[in-house]
Chain A
Amino acid sequence: MRAEISFSAEGTALTAFRDALRQANVRCRHQVVKNGVFYAAVPPQQFCTVRALAERHGIALTVLKKRGLRFHLLPYRKRFGILPGLLLGALLLYWSSAYVRSIEIYGNETVSDAEVLTALESLGISRGTPIREIAFTASERRMRLAIGEIDWIAMRHVGGRLIVEMTENRAAPEMYDDHVPTNVTAAYDAQITSVSVLGGQAVCKRGDVVRKGDLLISGAVTDSRGTQRFYHGDGIVTGVYQADFEQEQPFVTELAVSGEAKTAQLLEVFGRRFSLSPGFSPPAGDFVYTEESHPLTLLGHTLPFTRIACQYTQRQTALTVWSEEEAVGLLRESAARWEQNFHSGDRILARSESISRSDLGISLKFHYVFEGVIGKTSEIFVKLS
């Protein structure tokens, strides 16, 4: 925008004034005379000449308009905060895009975020790392070596955000090898209730009583000519068997409990942390440390500042005294968990419990009669010629 001062001039010697302007080589633009008033516009540096000539010729000069950047900025010349503010803003903008402000990970399913962050940290990439120091291509290669599950990885940055995109390896399903010679043997002492042979030759039948380790389905078959062949013995053999669950619950136990909790606030700026809780000291002894990050926002935009709430919870132990009913309840809960974990597919035919008390605690013994699968596969180690 060209700087210009528009003015109007009135007086009796207007023609002489205009001639004087021309002779003084004043670059007068948009000259026009309307109703005896002379209007024109001159560059600001020539306005002093115009004023002097106007005074000499007895012309009344009126400034109509000042145009140009300098006239816009003039009112702000004493605002001394503007320049430092602009510099500070530019510096902040530079900082927020020159350093890793946050790391975003996409595409990971089995590999956890923490695993990826740890691997990145081992490569020297974490929050606060200058972006110019990151060798993206080399880091991608090293990340693939560091985490075997990564099939493809790409790293890029958008301002101060480091974006890590990856796809993971899809493991092929495990092959079911049905060519290995195997037997099916009894896992418990049991009475057989059903036999279903899928491979090999059954050597037991329904109603038989077997001991633990007895052969149920044989993978080694000898034909009528005496030749022995090996097969993959496979099948489902169910039976009725007994099992016991025994556990003791003392009346007094030492349990870990949470003690005093202290919270400290930190401010994280470009990976550097500053305490917002002056004079804070973590609790003495053992404690559990947890922290929560709260990124600060302004008008819905995330700022490169994060408030971190750090919680220190003291670890303590407390002696807990159980009544007889409570102890029995705990033991029954344990038995229920054992049933669920180890015999969820079995049918419970009978269950009996016996409780024995002592000065120190209670012992509970459950006696079960289950009906379920009793056969387990065991490989035959033979040298085939």
Chain B
Amino acid sequence: MNLPFSDDRIELCGNTDVFFDRCRRLLECSDMLVQLEIRGHSVAVWGRGLTASDYADGRLHVQGQIAAVEFDGGL
């Protein structure tokens, strides 16, 4: 089981924007699901009309109508 990660910041603004401080890989990027990898953890953002934008130093911005954020495949 992966260890929890607490140093990386994930910021959720309402249900339209999520900002990730450090994203290693973008695993999936469809308008319904954006899945990424942070320190060996998989984070999935579910929603509608999702797009992902890269910024410097591995930062990532996911935009769209966000329905759920899941860590490591959810429960």
Contacts and interface: CB of A to CB of B under 8 A. Distances in A.
Interface of A: 15, 18-19, 21-22, 25-34, 38
Interface in B40-56: 50-56
Nearest to B25: A19
B53 to A, nearest CB: 4
A34 B54 CA distance: 18
B25 A31 contact: no
Contacts of B29: 18, 31-33, 38
27 contacts: A18-B26, A18-B29, A19-B25, A22-B25, A22-B26, A22-B54, A22-B58, A27-B53, A27-B55, A28-B52, A28-B53, A28-B54, A29-B53, A29-B54, A30-B51, A30-B63, A31-B29, A31-B51, A31-B52, A32-B29, A32-B31, A33-B28, A33-B29, A33-B30, A34-B30, A34-B31, A38-B29
Nearest to A27: B54
Interface of B: 23-31, 50-56, 58, 63
Q: Which one of B30, B52, B58 has the greatest number of beta carbons of chain A within 10 Å?
A: B52
Contacts of A15: 27
B31 A31 contact: no
B68 to A, nearest CB: 18
A31 B53 contact: yes
A21 B53 CA distance: 12
Contacts of B24: 22
Contacts of B50: 32
Contacts of A28: 52-54
Residue of A18, A25, A31, A34 ringed by the most chain B CB atoms within 10 A: A31
A78 to B, nearest CB: 35
A21 B51 contact: no
A173 B36 CA distance: 99
B25 A32 contact: no
Given A27-B53, A31-B51, A32-B52, 10 more contacts: A18-B29, A22-B25, A22-B26, A28-B54, A29-B51, A31-B26, A31-B53, A32-B29, A32-B30, A32-B50
Which of B26, B30, B56 has the largest number of chain A CB atoms within 10 A?
A: B26
A21 B54 contact: yes
A266 B29 CA distance: 74
A349 to B, nearest CB: 111
Contacts of A33: 28-30
Nearest to A25: B56
Contacts of A34: 30-31
A38 B26 CA distance: 12
B54 A26 contact: yes
Contacts of B55: 27
A38 B50 CA distance: 13
Contacts of B63: 30
A15 B53 CA distance: 16
Contacts of B56: 25, 27
Contacts of B23: 22
Nearest to B54: A28
A19 B28 CA distance: 11
Contacts of B25: 19, 22
B37 to A, nearest CB: 10
B30 A31 contact: no
* Residue from the set A22, A34, A38 with the largest chain B CB neighbour count within 10 Å: A22
Contacts of A25: 56
Contacts of A21: 54
A33 B35 CA distance: 12
A32 B50 CA distance: 7
Contacts of B30: 32-34
A196 B42 CA distance: 127
Contacts of B31: 32, 34
B2 to A, nearest CB: 20
Contacts of A27: 53-56
A372 to B, nearest CB: 104
A27 B58 CA distance: 9
Contacts of A26: 54
Nearest to A29: B53
Contact of B26 (A19, A29, A30): A19
Chain A CB within 10 Å — which of B24, B30, B50, B54 has the most?
A: B54
